[in-house]
Structures are given as C-alpha cells and as structure tokens.
Structure 1
Amino acid sequence: MPKLITLVAIVCGFLLSSNPASADEPPERYRFLFHCDGETLFQLPAPPVKYGYIEKSMDEIASTGATTLVVSTHIGMVPIYPSEHSNQMGEKVQSNDRSRFKRDGTRLFGTLQRSGLNIEVLIKDGIDPLQWILTAARHRELETFLSFGLNNAQYGNDPFRYPNVLAISQYWREHRDLRLGTAGAPLPEILQEILGPSGRRHFAPALPVGLDFAKAEVRDRRLLEIDEILNRYDIDGLEINFHRYPMFFKPDEVADNLETMTGFMQEVRKRVDAAGQKHGHPIKLVGRVMPRPEYSKAIGLDVERWAREGLLDFIIVSHCGDNEFTLPIREYRQILPDGYPVYASIAFESKGEDYREIAAQLRDEQPDGIHLQNFHDTLDLRRRPDYKLAEEMGTVYKDVTSAPADPPTSDQGDNN
C-alpha cells in the first residue's frame, strides 16, 4: 500500500505540473543554472525513497533563486531512467556482485550503491526517477534542462571492479571495436593541459576508452539515446556535456573530423527542434564546452561555427577539473556573435570563501549568468549543501550587463 500511495502521488503531481510554455519565463540572458548529478539526489535516503523527498530537494534548490535545474541523465554509463536501449545499474552483473549491491545499497549511506538501488526500486515500482525530479522542479517554476554526457567513460579504466561494475554500459562492454583505445594510454599534451591537474587524476585513466565518434555507429547510437530522452521528457533544454569525457576522436584524427562533429550536432539540433514541435514549445540546445576556445577546437568542437549557425542556443564554459584559473569568457565572446549568451560554470569547492573568490573574479569576465556544478557534492563530505551560499553565488551575476567583446588584436589570431 505505501508503494501505491507513493506512485499515485507522483503521477498526480506529473499530471498537474505546469507546461514549460506557461511558466514564467526567466530573463533571456540571465540564468542561474543549478546542476545536479542524478546520483546525488538519491544517495541519502534508505530505499525506498518516500514521496516528498525529491519535492523537498527542489524546494531547497528553488530557494536559492536558481532559474534553471540541470540534471544529469546517467550515473557513470547507465541511465537513471527506464531505458529501452541501455541496462540499468547493477542489471548486467554477476550474482555475487548483484547480492552485494543490494546489501550495500541498503546499508551504506551516500554511496553509488545507495543511489543505484533507490533508482532500481523506483523503476520496478513503476516510477520514473527522472520524471519525478522534472515534475517537482516544474511545480517550483524552474526551467528544466537535462544534461547528457556525450562520451561518459567513467569507470571504464577498471570496469570489472566492484562497485564500478554496477555502472558500466553493456553496449560499451560489448563493443571494444568502437573504443578510441585502451585504458591508461598516454594522452597528447593538449589533452593533459585541458584536463588540468585534477582532471588528469580523475579522467585521464578512462579517457582513451571512450567511444570513437569518427565511427558512424557511435554517432547513431548517441542519436538513438538522445531521441529517447527527447521523446520521454517534456523539457525546456538539453545540455550536451562535452566534459563527460572530453575525447571524441583519436588525437591524430581530430582535425579531419571537425566536420564530422558539426554534422552530428546538426542532427542533434534537428531532433531537438522536432521534439519542441511535438511538445508545443521551443527546446533549447546548449553545450558545456572547454575552458578556452582553443581547447574546444583541439578536441573537435567548432563552437564558433555552431553558435553562428544556430546549432547551440548558448554555451556554458567550464573547467574539466578544479577551478584552476578564471574562465576567459571574453575570449569566447571574441569569436561568437554579438549578444550570444555565455555562462560560466563553477566546479565544486569545499569552502565557501573559495566560491566567493572565484565568483568575484568571474564577474570581471561578465558572463550572462552562473552554472553551479555538482553543488551537492558536499554530501560526500557528510555535510548538507549550503543553499544560502548558492543563493549568494547566483546574486553575484544578476545585475551584470554583458559588454561586447574586445576586438582581437593582430597577435590574437582567430583563436583556432
């Protein structure tokens, strides 16, 4: 009976949720984008998650003045929603790992296992975890964006180790021929520079085992997954997260595949526009791109062209790891159309004073708003998120008026 009550409550909430087109639209340029990993929203409560838990989380996020909720669609390589094309967490594992997953998910607070088990129980009870989040967010008049990690190879460097094995895609496991290379392979200097010290620690070992976007089968697979998301969910925007993980082509094939990736993004744009027609309102397509324009180009992302051709409605400039330097928003403005919206992402910091220092420095770059990445990661430190601090971060940018980019000097070139 409690499960039935939970299901009825969530379904009723969905049916009563406001359409995105009827909600108060946030200002076209200013946005305060609050990002959540799908994992972190489900790693606290013991299974099963009770109705009201996600609603409380959305109340807290809305209290910060955020305009937009951005939710990641996957944990590692597996989705947090019932997919027709992918295995769920813990589904394709050996029986001993399966038993351990259930035991640990019940007992261990704040873990991958807890999140995965909560999501599994919800799906088995007929509840879509992602829809639950989106419905609760919309009731609080938040824009709803889903973040799709384009080449997420997380745990791919050690895919048989527990608990990594729980979040490995069966498709990835079965298609070694579609991978870029082998785990731990040396990375070119430009990729090491893009990742930075913390990114090299966290991303570098698995980066070479991502899928090779030079192969049509890989691109078709991702379009299939994007189609599923756009058909399942009535959202305001889709973020293509190029940071999960930022390697799409073999290093010596990047230049030859700029057009390939642009063609892929053209297909994504078509699908987003078609979904907008289906749902009766425009859906924005945005990209979370590398911290410098030349870094984006170096991995096959022609951000300048995508902006000028209208393939992306705005970009979010983001570090791959820690906040190692002030994001050069003005450098991006030099190559983008006048008035094109550019947002700055702040990666997770454990101290409030570090957030404040970074935000103050970024203000001089005049972004159109802020993107707080993984703000819930304080849970890993056994602390509740400081939502007052998040509100403060959003307020820093609310009255910033974007200035036109300084014209490039003769020695700046075209930032290619």
Structure 2
Amino acid sequence: MSTENAGQRPPAPDYGIIFNNDGGYLKHAEFPMSVEDLLERIYGPLAGTQVGALSWCVGVEEAHWPSDRLPMIGEAEGRRYLSVRDMRRAESLRAMFDADADLYGQLVRRGHQMGLGVYASVRMNDNHFWSDAERRVKPLRPEEMAATERPHLTAFRKRHPEWVLGEGAPAWAATSWNMAVPEIREYTLQRIAEACELADWDGVELDWQRHAFHLPEEDAYRLRYTLTDLQRAVRRLTDAIAQRRGQPFHVIVRVGASRETNRRVGYDLEAWIEEGLCDIVVTGANSGTDPGVEVEAYVEMMQGSQVRLYPGFDSHGEWGRGHLLPAKQWREAWFRGLATGFYERGATGVHLFNWHNHVHAVRPLLQSLGAPNTLRRTAKVYAAVKRHIRDRGELRYGAERDDRLRGEVPVDLLHTLMGGGPRFRIGVYEDVSEAATLELQVDLDHLSPRDQVAVELDGQRLEDPVRRSPAAEEAANPADVSENTWLVWPLVPAQVGKGVHVVSIDLLERDPRLRPPIVVRNVEIHVSYLNGGNASTGGI
C-alpha cells in the first residue's frame, strides 16, 4: 500500500536540534501560572542555541485541553491530587482555558517568531501508573486498576482491563494499552486528531517510545501491521490538515535505535518510510539514551525518500557518573562524540528528550550539537555501548528489554580455552590532529594488583598502562583505592584514525583470593584539545 500524496509533500526543514519538552514547566511556578510566564520558561533558555524545533507534549492519557470526548487533566483523580506539583500543573492548565487563553496558538506563534518549528508531541502509550498501597515498590496490576486512583488512570482504562497487555509485557508495563485492539487504535487516533487541531502546528510527533510496549511480546512482530494501520490513519489525518491549511503538516516518529528493536516492538519502519507515513525518524530508547543507532541502515532505508534521521539523546541512563572525568565534563564529551558520529554517518540532526529539566546546565551542548562544524576540535569521548538491565526486584524491571541490544559492556572477564577475551568496537568519527591529546581508558571492577590482563588495540599489544583509582582522585574521599580501577594508555594520532577500532582484553592470570570475576565496565577513547570546550557557540 502506498500513500497517494507522498510525492507531493515537501520535506521537513533541517532543524539541527529538535527539543522535546514534556510540559513539566507547568509545575515550576505557583498556581495560577500565566501563559506569558510559561512561554518565557519554554523559549527563554532556547534563545541563542542551535535548537530549530520544539516538540511540546500535549498530554499523556488525559487531554491537556477541553474536550467533549476525552477526559481533561485532573479528572482521573477527581481534581484531588497526590502532590502540590501535580495540582499546580493541572489547575494552572485548566485556569488558562477557563480564561479563554489561546495557549497553544500563542505557543506556536512565539516559536515561529524565534524561527523555530513547533510540533505537538503525543505519547502513544505512556505508562506511569503505580499502585497506591505500594507506590514505586510494586507495579500496578490490571485487576487493581478499577479500585485505584492515580494521575492519568482514566475511567476508560479502568473499564477495560481486557484491553491492556497484562502478562504480554513486563509487570510494570502490564497496564499499557494493547494496540492490536481496534478500539484502542480508534481512541488513540481521537487523541491525536484533537491535538493536531489545537493550533497551527508545523506537525505532530508520535512518540512511540513512550513507552515502547504496544503489543503482546510473543506476537509483536506478527501484529506489527496494526501499528502500521494507526500510522496510516495518522498520515491520512495530517494530509487532510495540510490540504485544508495550504501548508505542510509534517509527521515525526520516535522509534527504536536498531532494526532488531523495531522488529521486537512491532514498528515496521521500512513500510512507514516506503509508504511516506513519516517525514522525520527520531530514535530513542524506552529508558535512557541508546547510542547504538544503526545510522547507516536507517539512511539506506531512506534512500529515494525525503525522510530524514535525527538520533535521540535522553537525560537518563549513562549520565556521566563513575568516570575519571567529572560527570558534567564526561557527559558533554560523550554527547559530542555521539553527535559527531551520527553526522559523519549521515544523520540530519539530533533529538533531545527529557533535557528540559536540565536546560541551563546543558546550554553548551544546545550551542554545539546542532551542526558538525561546531563539534570540530572539541573534547569527545567515544565509548563502547553499555547495556543496562535492572535487577528483577526493581520496579521497572524489563524497561530496557529492547534497548541497547548490542551493548558490549559491562561484561565479565573470564578465562577462555584458546586464549582471547571480549572485543569492543569503538568508532572514532573525526580526523584526529597532532594537537589532540588521546587516551584509551578501560574501567575494570574487582581488579587486584595480582591480576594480569593483556589489552590490544586493533591487534597491537599495548604496553603496561597507568593504573588510576577514582577514590584517589576525589579530594573529599579519604581512601586511596576503589573497588574499580581504570587502566589508561596514552595514544598517538596514528593509532586513532577515523573509523571503527577494536579493543581486545584477555585475562592472563586471576587473583585466586577473589570470588567475583573482573568486570569490564567501560571502554573509551578520549580525544581532547588544549581549548577542548565548544569550538563555537554560534548558530547553525
């Protein structure tokens, strides 16, 4: 099936950075917040940055607007809230509409005055439900919904426990909608349709990754056509809006970082691109940042189309703790390294999710991540992909089920029969100059002075490293040693050319006094310059 208007739609602009905001700013001032105060909080921090588009979350399950068919924010709780923050958000929003404020019209116009695209962002299957008795300890079960009062836990969902995933998803996502149910797709389309008509948006962002449990786990691939059905319905809707307005109405989809993730969740992205069902593909994890974006594969899918790729960064997960560099310094260098690689491999821009609560702290990144030229000669960390899986006893066990599927760390370092241990692939995506300072850093947990390991870079055995303990480098820490040890090798540009490098680690001898294995936690190549901050703070 193809979409009739695919060849007639103009491509979406190149935005550099698309900045998602979940609407939480409504909690940041005392009730009642004014529209002008909200707009200043939204757009003030984005001025003078490389952000080219804002995607504004217009609600989770309840509508963030008056609706004749959908419950409005606060109704699920009878407007009696669990916290002052929740009350501020819901009641300030309601007060704006009670005063006949054109909230979303003003939101779009202010963004356009700044030269930004403005999108309505719809979370396709958000699940932030917790049981009242054991909040944030045990997830809500479908059979508990009817007797539970929680934000966004609507009467419609309570009436239909048979339409949620139940045992077809991890326990914390058991109350997520089953998108194979036709009534749920119709209901979701209604939410999207009403959101799209709130203002003269530049388009709509369908956040499929919030949260990425839409179909029974064992059937997701076979039922993927049902998600494509909804995607087609949305494209028909947006085409009608575009025709009526006489201007484009673009569709952004936020999906997984890899083809395997998409298959496991049920996204038939190849069909969506082939049929012209989206204009921009954003990648994101279900939880945290997924750096393992298959950029080349996605760009190949997009050949011959006008669809563009924006790999995504989240604020959760790998956020810079536990490294030799201070967390903020490491984090900025890691994001710069990822963005450099994404651009070099064919991405158009980047998408930032959940950064709004850190917007002032990440301003240097907002001024540099939006274009390759502002990333040149800046400090970067190129790292092996880390896969994190929560313990079974944690509330959100299973949240990362489909994220970072090819993560190479952490991994136990074990004896092998034939010699040779794990191998780690690290892409370096710049021509490193002679002025650069280069290091290979390997983080090993439970390493004893008696342990012997051999490390190779691209098949060449490295000499003995410098051993550094994080505790010894923390001024406030009285200890000289930590449970983990970093092995550090200085490198020269000839060892770190542009391309993918392979680091191999082999366990030669293990201290017999220790029971746990050595664990390889991080493998990183660091590139820094004398003035290794942001090369430029200008625009795109």
Q: TM-score normalised by the shorter chain: which range applies? A: 0.7 to 0.9
Matched residue SS, 1:79: coil
Deviation at 1:397, TM superposition (A): 6.9
The whole-number CA distance in structure 2 between the counterparts of 1:332 and 1:321 is 21
Q: How does 1:219-234 map to 2 (within 5 A)?
A: 219-234=185-200
The whole-number CA distance in structure 2 between the counterparts of 1:27 and 1:276 is 13
Please tell me whether the aligned partners of residues 64 and 390 of structure 1 are also in contact (alpha carbons under 8 angstroms): yes
Q: Quick one: structure 1 residues 268 and 63, their matched pair in 2 at CA, closer, same or farther if it must change by over 3 Å?
A: same
Q: What 5-or-longer segments of structure 1 have no aligned partner? A: 1-24, 106-110, 188-203, 407-416
Deviation at 1:160, TM superposition (A): 7.1
Please tell me whether the aligned partners of residues 273 and 301 of structure 2 are also in contact (alpha carbons under 8 angstroms): no
Partner in structure 2 of residue 364 of structure 1:
341
Partner in structure 1 of residue 216 of structure 2:
250
Q: Pick the aligned partner of 1:47 from 14, 31, 39.
A: 31
TM-score between both structures, scaled by the size of structure 2 = 0.58
Deviations 1:281-300 (A, max 9, x none): 01111210111111112211
Q: What 5-or-longer segments of structure 2 have no aligned partner? A: 1-9, 131-138, 320-326, 377-428, 430-498, 500-540
The whole-number CA distance in structure 1 between the counterparts of 2:270 and 2:219 is 20
Deviation at 1:324, TM superposition (A): 4.9
Matched residue SS, 1:45: coil
Partner in structure 2 of residue 391 of structure 1:
367
Please tell me whether the aligned partners of residues 32 and 394 of structure 1 are also in contact (alpha carbons under 8 angstroms): yes
Structure 2 counterpart of 1:84, one-letter code? D
Number of matched residues?
343
Matched residue SS, 1:305: helix
The whole-number CA distance in structure 1 between the counterparts of 2:149 and 2:352 is 26
Partner in structure 2 of residue 64 of structure 1:
49
The whole-number CA distance in structure 2 between the counterparts of 1:265 and 1:214 is 13
Q: Quick one: structure 1 residues 112 and 352, their matched pair in 2 at CA, closer, same or farther if it must change by over 3 Å?
A: farther
Please tell me whether the aligned partners of residues 35 and 96 of structure 2 are also in contact (alpha carbons under 8 angstroms): no
Q: Percent same amino acid at aligned positions?
A: 18
Matched residue SS, 1:52: helix
Q: How does 1:302-381 map to 2 (within 5 A)?
A: 302-338=268-304, 340-348=307-315, 352-353=328-329, 354-366=331-343, 367-378=347-358
TM-score between both structures, scaled by the size of structure 1 = 0.74
Partner in structure 2 of residue 4 of structure 1:
none
2:56 is the alignment partner of 1:89: no
2:141 is the alignment partner of 1:212: no
Q: How does 1:190-205 map to 2 (within 5 A)?
A: 204-205=170-171
Deviations 1:95-118 (A, max 9, x none): xxx4555xx43xxxxx33332232
The whole-number CA distance in structure 1 between the counterparts of 2:37 and 2:361 is 15
Partner in structure 2 of residue 271 of structure 1:
237
The whole-number CA distance in structure 1 between the counterparts of 2:159 and 2:268 is 31
Partner in structure 2 of residue 120 of structure 1:
94
Please tell me whether the aligned partners of residues 257 and 290 of structure 2 are also in contact (alpha carbons under 8 angstroms): no
Structure 2 counterpart of 1:266, one-letter code? R
Deviations 1:294-338 (A, max 9, x none): 111221111011111111112001122222534232232233325
Deviation at 1:141, TM superposition (A): 2.0
Please tell me whether the aligned partners of residues 61 and 152 of structure 2 are also in contact (alpha carbons under 8 angstroms): yes
Partner in structure 2 of residue 9 of structure 1:
none
The whole-number CA distance in structure 2 between the counterparts of 1:281 and 1:289 is 26
Matched residue SS, 2:194: helix
Q: Quick one: structure 1 residues 27 and 165, their matched pair in 2 at CA, closer, same or farther if it must change by over 3 Å?
A: closer
The whole-number CA distance in structure 1 between the counterparts of 2:153 and 2:261 is 28
Which structure is larger by alpha-carbon Rg, 1 or 2? 2
Q: Quick one: structure 1 residues 273 and 99, their matched pair in 2 at CA, closer, same or farther if it must change by over 3 Å?
A: closer
Task: Name the structure where helix makes up a greater proportion of residues.
Answer: 1
The whole-number CA distance in structure 2 between the counterparts of 1:66 and 1:292 is 25
Q: Quick one: structure 1 residues 261 and 28, their matched pair in 2 at CA, closer, same or farther if it must change by over 3 Å?
A: same
2:43 is the alignment partner of 1:37: no
The whole-number CA distance in structure 1 between the counterparts of 2:27 and 2:124 is 23
Matched residue SS, 1:392: coil
Deviations 1:354-409 (A, max 9, x none): 13312313322322101111112238xxxx55434322222447789x9xxx9xxx
Please tell me whether the aligned partners of residues 57 and 121 of structure 2 are also in contact (alpha carbons under 8 angstroms): yes
The RMSD of aligned alpha carbons is 3.1
Deviation at 1:212, TM superposition (A): 1.4
Partner in structure 1 of residue 163 of structure 2:
178
Please tell me whether the aligned partners of residues 145 and 235 of structure 1 are also in contact (alpha carbons under 8 angstroms): yes
Q: Pick the aligned partner of 1:135 from 92, 103, 109.
A: 109
The whole-number CA distance in structure 1 between the counterparts of 2:187 and 2:210 is 16
Matched residue SS, 2:369: helix
Q: Quick one: structure 1 residues 391 and 140, their matched pair in 2 at CA, closer, same or farther if it must change by over 3 Å?
A: same
Please tell me whether the aligned partners of residues 255 and 262 of structure 2 are also in contact (alpha carbons under 8 angstroms): yes
Please tell me whether the aligned partners of residues 286 and 314 of structure 1 are also in contact (alpha carbons under 8 angstroms): yes
Matched residue SS, 1:364: helix
Moved over 3 A (4+): 25-30, 98-101, 128-132, 156-161, 349-352, 395-400
Please tell me whether the aligned partners of residues 17 and 51 of structure 2 are also in contact (alpha carbons under 8 angstroms): yes
The whole-number CA distance in structure 1 between the counterparts of 2:81 and 2:255 is 38
Task: Name the structure where strand makes up a greater proportion of residues.
Answer: 2
Partner in structure 1 of residue 493 of structure 2:
none
Please tell me whether the aligned partners of residues 81 and 87 of structure 2 are also in contact (alpha carbons under 8 angstroms): no
The whole-number CA distance in structure 1 between the counterparts of 2:104 and 2:228 is 29
